[in-house]
Chain A
Amino acid sequence: MEAPPVTMMPVTGGTINMMEYLLQGSVLDHSLESLIHRLRGLCDNMEPETFLDHEMVFLLKGQQASPFVLRARRSMDKTGAPWHLRYLGQPEMGDKNRHTLVRNCVDIATSENLTDFLMEMGFRMDHEFVAKGHLFRKGIMKIVVYKIFRILIPGNTDSTEALSLSYLVELSVVAPAGQDMVSDDMRNFAEQLKPLVHLEKIDPKRLM
Chain B
Amino acid sequence: MAGTLASNHLGLTSWSLSLQREEKQLEASVDALLSQVADLKSSLGSFICKLENEYDRLTWPSVLDSFALLSGQLNTLNKVLKHEKTPLLRNQVIIPLVLSPDRDEELTRQTEGRVPVFSHEVVPDHLRTKPDPEVEEQEKQLTADAARIGTDAAQKQIQTLNKMCSNLLEKISKEERESESGGLRQNKQTFNPTDTNALVAAVAFGKGLSNWRPPGSSGPGQPGQPGAGALLRSSGIQQVQMTGTPSQQQSTLLSGVQMAQTGQPGKMPSGIKTNIKSASMHPYQRK
A158 interfacial by beta-carbon distance below 8 Å: yes
Q: Can you name 19 A-B pairs with beta carbons within 8 Å?
A: A26-B192, A28-B190, A61-B218, A119-B229, A123-B220, A124-B228, A125-B212, A125-B229, A127-B210, A127-B211, A129-B206, A148-B209, A155-B232, A155-B275, A155-B278, A156-B275, A163-B209, A164-B198, A166-B199
Once bound together, how far apart are the Cα atoms of A115 and B235, in whole Å?
A: 14
B282 interfacial by beta-carbon distance below 8 Å: yes
Flag if A154 contacts B192 (CB, 8 Å). no
Enumerate the 5 nearest inter-chain pairs by beta-carbon distance, A residue then B residue, closest first. A127-B206, A204-B204, A166-B195, A122-B220, A31-B190
A52 interfacial by beta-carbon distance below 8 Å: no
Residues of A that sit less than 8 Å from B by CB: 1-4, 24-28, 31, 34-35, 54, 57, 59-63, 74, 112, 115-116, 119, 122-129, 148, 150-159, 163-166, 168, 195-198, 200, 202, 204, 207-208
Q: Given A119-B233, A155-B275, decide whether A204 and B221 contact each other with a Cβ distance below 8 A.
A: no
Chain A residues contacting B204 (CB-CB under 8 Å) are 204, 207
Once bound together, how far apart are the Cα atoms of A158 and B279, in whole Å?
A: 12
B281 interfacial by beta-carbon distance below 8 Å: yes
Partner of B189, one of A2, A31, A62, A202: A31
Flag if B191 contacts A164 (CB, 8 Å). no
Residues of B that sit less than 8 Å from A by CB: 186-187, 189-193, 195-213, 217-223, 225, 227-233, 235, 271, 274-275, 278, 281-284, 286
Once bound together, how far apart are the Cα atoms of A134 and B231, in whole Å?
A: 33
Once bound together, how far apart are the Cα atoms of A129 and B206, in whole Å?
A: 8
Flag if A148 contacts B203 (CB, 8 Å). yes
Chain A residues contacting B213 (CB-CB under 8 Å) are 59, 124-127
Once bound together, how far apart are the Cα atoms of A94 and B77, in whole Å?
A: 67
Chain B residues contacting A116 (CB-CB under 8 Å) are 284, 286
Q: Given A3-B221, A150-B209, A154-B271, decide whether A126 and B228 contact each other with a Cβ distance below 8 A.
A: yes
Once bound together, how far apart are the Cα atoms of A24 and B274, in whole Å?
A: 35
Flag if A2 contacts B221 (CB, 8 Å). yes
Once bound together, how far apart are the Cα atoms of A39 and B152, in whole Å?
A: 65
Q: Given A129-B202, A152-B210, A155-B282, decide whether A60 and B220 contact each other with a Cβ distance below 8 A.
A: yes
Q: Given A157-B283, A198-B191, decide whether A124 and B220 contact each other with a Cβ distance below 8 A.
A: yes
Once bound together, how far apart are the Cα atoms of A150 and B207, in whole Å?
A: 10
Known: A119-B233, A155-B235. 18 other contacts (CB 8 A): A1-B222, A3-B221, A4-B221, A24-B196, A28-B190, A31-B189, A123-B220, A123-B229, A124-B225, A125-B212, A126-B206, A156-B274, A156-B275, A159-B278, A165-B192, A198-B193, A200-B196, A204-B204
Chain B residues contacting A115 (CB-CB under 8 Å) are 232, 284
Flag if A61 contacts B274 (CB, 8 Å). no
Partner of B196, one of A26, A74, A196: A26
Once bound together, how far apart are the Cα atoms of A157 and B283, in whole Å?
A: 8
Chain A residues contacting B278 (CB-CB under 8 Å) are 153, 155-156, 158-159
